[in-house]
Structure 1
Amino acid sequence: MTDEKDNNGKGGKDKGGNNTPTPDENKLIAERRQKLAALRQNGIAFPNDFRRNVMAGELHAEYGDKSAEELDKLGIRVRVAGRMMLRRIMGKASFAHIQDMSGRIQLYVQRDSLPEGFYNEQFKKWDIGDIIGAEGQLMKTKTGELSVKVDDLRLLTKSLRPLPEKFKGLTDTETRYRQRYLDLIMSEESRRTFRLRTEIIFYIRKFFNERGFLEVETPMMQVIPGGATARPFTTYHNALDMDLFLRIAPELYLKRLVVGGFEKVYEINRNFRNEGLSTRHNPEFTMLEFYEAYADYHMLMDLTEELLRGLAEDVLGTTQIQYQGDTYDFGKPFTRMSVRESILHFNDDISAADIDDLDSARRHAERLGIPLKDNWGLGKVQIEIFEKTVEHRLKDPTFITAYPTEVSPLARRNDEDPFVTDRFEFFVGGREIANGFSELNDAEDQAERFRKQVEDKEAGDDEAMFFDEDYITALEHGMPPTAGEGIGIDRLVMLFTDAPSIRDVLLFPHMRPD
């Protein structure tokens, strides 16, 4: 028995979520192993001497509009390779589709064009999922499909497990995440998502390189985890006999570089935060962080708007972003309002006097079911109300500014109102995408804020910052007026690919054990 058609045996799933072969699938696997055993007896079962000279997508792009007569006249010979995804056997001739990373190309295989016995004794016994190499001449079928008329055909890798059925595909979401290789084989949508992710990161690099920024790399393992309020992962260095932390942000190292004279720097790399799993959160995630001396947060908002608008036009061809049934216009100026203004805008029952008074603000927070700690000041209470009542309603592209100093330990105080900082966060679709501010470059003020963070940590706040003495020393040497920002690449890719979960845009997301 051979699974010669464009579908295969069904895979089962047990109650624990594990993919376990059904009896039919086990039978198919056993048959394929027998075929592999025969290949081993007859020679090299996994050859590595076939060299393709073109990919499927390139052929369609260059020759897809040529007529059958034009192709016949050109006499173009090609060598292609890929995974066999479909096969139709029709007596002395067959059609097969092979898939490479650029797309699919059809093979036209005739018995009499191959060595004697090869068609019946070898090709017809191959299985869907096998990886093959083919050489022949480009042609068009009667239906107009670009194809390769094959005169040399080789099996390069024997597939031992059948693929999911073509028409059902890989329908189990958890299996798609745990076995991404299968998802990529079966789903053009998933392949498109990750190609687009690469294009997004490429555009971002090009954008900053063209503006004179220097791309750098900073430590992943740190003695003191800083740059954000988050719980770190801890590891241990045997040779040094000391704990180290996976970084939660590169910020303090990037600002050390600004002190050192690298006045425009950026990094695209991983951060790690020991927090929960959700459709928006993965403990390992990709961030863009960039810093520019002699700039302020207003300039960064303008730069961010320019970046995102250009990114949409470049990778999507439009400034109209479709996400989960909604449309967001990146072509018009982004909305800008302060934290205080946004709370008043979205809460008719909260007055300006209420939001400016700690006791009144705490009463509103308690009414909203927000748990409060005794040591929280007005700024922290305001942010709790903002996150509860405002954040999810910021659908259109919006900059929220003037974050309270209490919750912004690394941002510069506003000159006119020291209760708030020169900080912004960018939201779209009810999600935070970016966080930026004019940097605090007053070493004494920064040291005092670190001390306050240490007090919070001692009071039980696991996400409060450590005191980074070396960073204070760097600031004491003098950091020029600077602005910096972090943009979540994963959430940005979610937006641009219309993905409902962060796991859809991570090739190998973290999953709970089976």
Structure 2
Amino acid sequence: MFENPLEQQKISKANELRSLGINPYSHFVTKPMSIKEFKDKYDFINELEEKKAEEICELIGRIKFMRDGGKAVFANIEDFSGSIQIYFNKSTIDETWFDNIKKLIEVGDIIKVHGYAFVTKKGEFSIHVDKLDLVTKSICVLPEKFHGLVDMESRYRQRYLDMIMNAEIRQDFVNRSKIVSFVRRYFENLGFLEVETPMMHEIAGGANARPFITHHNTLGVDRFLRIAPELYLKRLIVGGFEAVFELNRCFRNEGMDLTHNPEFSTIEFYWAYHNYKDLMNLTEDLLSKLIAHLGLSTTITYDDKQIDFSTPFAKIPYKDALVQIGGIDAAIVNDKAAILKKLKADGFEANEKLDLGHLQAELFDNYVEDKLINPTFITDFPVSISPLSRRSDENPEIAERFELFIAGKELANGFNELNDPLDQYERFLAQVEAKKAGNDEACEMDEDFVNALGFGMAPTAGEGIGIDRLVMMLTNKKSIKDVILFPAMRPKKD
């Protein structure tokens, strides 16, 4: 490593600093204030005649720009809070050290400066430095200032460099943190208890998806990285908790695209003695208050789309959406053969082994989903694609379930939880048969979960919300990689 000639030059400079008795990687360094705090504190000097402060302060930052004017040096340093210009010359700093600074200190290094606030003749707020110490020597060369780091693959692979070069990227993840923090507080304020459930599962379940498989050496058994925490969270409802949530990671061994990453963040919550209509109301309230908390308008721009978050959100049953939004002839919605013919005629793959509910899902995915721009709750899903949802008392072929779509993408999935152990057992058996028929994403049998339901689970509604997609929408990011600090990447080609 570090074989690049420029990197070798930097290493030589680090060694020369050592020969001068200066450790290029010092420690026990304190930071008295941030650059933003410094600017805020001394902003008043703009109103003074001499435009300078008498008080001496210290700042720490990374050098982002440096211009050697011979007897004087101008540079810009940056920390998490912002950037500021620094100025020093031979008359303010020991002459020998001044020459060494110009020779051995450079862009990328982290330095500590000591001086006072002043405004230059050109009107730039700056710090007049009388002492400068090296904190950390940079060995790698930063990208050229004016073009920066623009290659997206490099930015994702080297997020640390992306954040060094692009301060707005740091702000994106500050905003993500604000969103996550708000969501957590929202549920805590409603009386929900935050819990942690296993990341490694004996059985791949909780959602329809292909799992990642690992091996536990001591036990000598395979384990699955969790697809979803649902079945464990519902066990807690059986055990007596009445409102729980978990905000954490899930893992799905599926394709990667603009809205899918193999590990992703969700919040799942379960609320005893409430129903899926309560969850829709809660979701509207959560999103409305979150948007207000972030200082956003109720109409936001996402991926060149104008999204109106005004409440109440639209609600439309699944089959009605196929006809009214997807333009599907109502006469074919309940006809397997007609659906297969329609899909094939329009160039979509159509598996003749799929049942009616799954074929209706093919219609929805291909003709409806991308048309749902403003927040829309789709309700009354087919039972066969809802293996953990309670059947409707009015129509046993329909699940008491909804999904929330925004900007053509699913954001949330919620339903009245199936708490009939016999019905749940039969649903699992159907999923097992579907897996045998070639559906790799079908759930597996979880007899312990069925046994838990046998002890009695209170009437409960549960929901999952995709945190990454929520952040994407509220920060106007087109790719999920833009809102995950270290997204999954394909192996680099040699």
- TM-score category of the 2 structures, normalised to the smaller one: over 0.9
2:76 equivalent among 97, 105, 108: 97
Contact 2:53 2:116 in 1 (8 A): no
Corresponding letter in the other structure for 1:367:
A
- Alignment CA distance shift 1:208-1:464 (3 Å): same
Q: How many residues get paired?
A: 491
Distance in 2, Cα, partners of 1:489 & 1:71: 51
Given the alignment of the two structures, is residue 118 of structure 1 paired with residue 118 of structure 2, yes or no? no
Give the equivalent residue in structure 2 for 1:13: none
2:118 equivalent among 139, 147, 154: 139
Given the alignment of the two structures, is residue 150 of structure 1 paired with residue 129 of structure 2, yes or no? yes
CA RMSD of aligned residues (A): 2.0
**Cα shift at 1:498:** 1.2
**Cα shift at 1:73:** 7.9
**Cα shift at 1:331:** 2.6
In the TM superposition, what whole-angstrom CA distance separates every residue of 1:368-424 from its partner, at most 9, and x where no partner exists?
333333332211111110000110111111111111000000011111111111111
Given the alignment of the two structures, is residue 251 of structure 1 paired with residue 230 of structure 2, yes or no? yes
Contact 2:14 2:104 in 1 (8 A): no
Distance in 1, Cα, partners of 2:466 & 2:55: 46
Give the equivalent residue in structure 2 for 1:425: 403
- Alignment CA distance shift 1:65-1:260 (3 Å): farther
- Alignment CA distance shift 1:73-1:96 (3 Å): closer
**SS of equivalent residue, structure 1 residue 422:** strand
Contact 1:68 1:139 in 2 (8 A): no
Give the equivalent residue in structure 2 for 1:500: 478
Contact 2:52 2:116 in 1 (8 A): no
352-361 or 494-503: which moved more? 352-361
Distance in 2, Cα, partners of 1:196 & 1:76: 34
Contact 1:51 1:79 in 2 (8 A): no
Give the equivalent residue in structure 2 for 1:42: 20
Contact 1:68 1:140 in 2 (8 A): no
**SS of equivalent residue, structure 2 residue 423:** helix
Distance in 1, Cα, partners of 2:452 & 2:49: 69
In the TM superposition, what whole-angstrom CA distance separates every residue of 1:50-81 from its partner, at most 9, and x where no partner exists?
21111112233444465252997863432211
Contact 2:322 2:367 in 1 (8 A): yes
In the TM superposition, what whole-angstrom CA distance separates every residue of 1:308-353 from its partner, at most 9, and x where no partner exists?
11111212432221112222111342111111111101344x3323
Distance in 2, Cα, partners of 1:71 & 1:260: 71
Give the equivalent residue in structure 1 for 2:413: 435
Give the equivalent residue in structure 1 for 2:379: 401
Corresponding letter in the other structure for 1:481:
P
Give the equivalent residue in structure 2 for 1:14: none
Distance in 2, Cα, partners of 1:302 & 1:325: 28
In the TM superposition, what whole-angstrom CA distance separates every residue of 1:421-477 from its partner, at most 9, and x where no partner exists?
111111111111111111111111111101111111122211111111111111111
**Cα shift at 1:187:** 1.0
**SS of equivalent residue, structure 1 residue 160:** coil
- Alignment CA distance shift 1:347-1:497 (3 Å): closer
Percent identical among aligned pairs is: 48
- Alignment CA distance shift 1:489-1:61 (3 Å): farther
**Structure 2 length-normalised TM:** 0.95
Given the alignment of the two structures, is residue 380 of structure 1 paired with residue 326 of structure 2, yes or no? no
Give the equivalent residue in structure 2 for 1:12: none
176-185 or 44-53: which moved more? 44-53
1:229 equivalent among 200, 208, 220: 208
Given the alignment of the two structures, is residue 370 of structure 1 paired with residue 348 of structure 2, yes or no? yes
Contact 1:71 1:138 in 2 (8 A): no
Give the equivalent residue in structure 1 for 2:191: 212
Corresponding letter in the other structure for 1:403:
F
355-364 or 76-85: which moved more? 355-364
Distance in 1, Cα, partners of 2:161 & 2:476: 21
**Cα shift at 1:32:** 1.2
Corresponding letter in the other structure for 2:389:
A
**Cα shift at 1:193:** 1.2
- Alignment CA distance shift 1:259-1:61 (3 Å): farther
Contact 1:365 1:381 in 2 (8 A): no
Give the equivalent residue in structure 2 for 1:17: none
How is 1:90-489 mapped onto 2 (pairs within 5 angstroms)? 90-348=69-327, 350-489=328-467
Contact 1:410 1:440 in 2 (8 A): yes
**Cα shift at 1:513:** 0.6
In the TM superposition, what whole-angstrom CA distance separates every residue of 1:122-166 from its partner, at most 9, and x where no partner exists?
245311111111122223333443322222211111111221111
Q: Name stretches of at least 5 consecutive residues in structure 1 with no aligned partner.
A: 1-19
Distance in 2, Cα, partners of 1:452 & 1:444: 13
Give the equivalent residue in structure 1 for 2:39: 60
Q: Name stretches of at least 5 consecutive residues in structure 2 with no aligned partner.
A: none
Distance in 2, Cα, partners of 1:269 & 1:71: 54
- Alignment CA distance shift 1:76-1:449 (3 Å): farther
